[in-house]
Amino acid sequence: MGTDLLSDVLGTVKLTGALFFMVDASFPWGIEVPHSAAFSPIILPRAQHIVSYHIILKGSGWACIPNLTSTRFEAGDILVLPYGDPYSMLSEPDQTPEFDIETTLEFFREMARGNLPFSVREGGGGSPQSKFVCGFLGCDMQPFNPLLSTLPRLLRIKRSPDGRAGLLSRLIDLTISEADKPRLGGSAIRLRLSELIFVEVMRQYLENLPAHETGWLSGLRDPAIGKVLTVLHEQPAYPWTLNELASRARMSRAALAKRFTHLVGHAPMQYLTLWRMQMAARLLADGPMKVAAVGRAIGYESEAAFSRAFKKTVGVSPAAWRGVAAGTNLP
């Protein structure tokens, strides 16, 4: 079996559950969420980046990123906000949020301290009612997150109509069950479940991508480009050339470069460099491996060559990156 590229990327960018809860909202209701930089220090201080997602279990409403986009959602929809943008979730598009930014930040503080239940009520007490699960995940965005960097700013996904929808429902039911009957370790289990739910959401998105869509997942699905991505992830330290990659894809060099860039957003060799630097950044942040050893692990024979490439791509030296990663949120 070949490399599971989605798992490879999610593991390398260190996907981590940060906060997970359910909102039971009664009309009228409105929640305003600030940019993730405002609440990342509250819910996951060491995270580079926060992704939020919402699974709509009941009712309907509107999700809005100010001055950018908005979409109506209903039961069965999944919303993903990959870039940490400020946004609102509202019962009606012109609804004034009851939870303004300061109220939301205080809510995050209380939820992170464990002072609030898994299921929280919000709104004016009227009908119709809406219910949705809210997940917030930490991950690396720098130097390179191929999955998130090509997603739209507000992604609305319909739950898969096939049997796989049952897996998502079972994961949500298990999460609610853990919350309804608190036991030791329950909070940790819910956070791991939130990670699993996000992975399943991404799988459903991949399986239902329209043919015209572009992005890393579209490249993964493409037979020729998927082969190239697979070998790059299986052997990132190998001294690949465009000729060899074109041979693997059974395409000309020009055709491969054009199609790969169109779908993935980067030329093949540029993608390889970015992925190598993401692997290196994770190795530098995670352990005591010497800089030269990190360079060799991703295909650089000398420490000097690796350091030059890392600084050119990332903007700081490997040693500086390690120092920042050991401290607090990366810039």
pLDDT digits (tens, 9 = 90+) for 260-278: 999 999 999 999 999 999 9
| Helix, strand counts (H, E) of the chain | 13, 10
**By C-alpha distance, which of 67, 123, 137 is closest to 90?**
123
CA atoms of 109 and 107, how far apart (whole Å): 5
Beta-carbon-side half-sphere exposure of residue 24 (alpha carbons within 13 Å): 7
CATH classification of 5-207, choosing from 3.30.110.30, 3.40.50.10070, 3.40.50.880, 2.60.120.280?
A: 2.60.120.280
Q: pLDDT at position 160, please? A: 63
CA atoms of 140 and 277, how far apart (whole Å): 12
Q: pLDDT at position 164, please? A: 52
Strands lying side by side in the sheet with 119-123 = 119-123, 16-27, 126-139, 49-58, 77-81, 155-158
CA atoms of 1 and 8, how far apart (whole Å): 14
User: Where are the CATH 2.60.120.280 domain residues in the chain?
Assistant: 5-207
Q: pLDDT at position 130, please? A: 96
User: Where are the CATH 1.10.10.60 domain residues in the chain?
Assistant: 217-325
Q: pLDDT at position 19, please? A: 87
Q: pLDDT at position 275, please? A: 98
CA 96 to centroid of chain Cα atoms: 29
CA 293 to centroid of chain Cα atoms: 29
CATH classification of 217-325, choosing from 3.40.50.2300, 1.10.10.60, 3.90.226.10, 2.60.40.10?
A: 1.10.10.60
Q: pLDDT at position 166, please? A: 78
Residue 3 main-chain phi, psi, to 5 deg: -65, 135
pLDDT < 50 positions in the chain: 1, 163, 328-329, 331
User: 272 has which bridge partners?
Assistant: none
At 61-104, the pLDDT tens digits run: 999 999 999 999 999 899 999 999 999 999 999 998 888 888 99
Q: pLDDT at position 3, please? A: 66
CA distances from 119 to 20, 104, 116, 218 (A): 10, 15, 8, 36
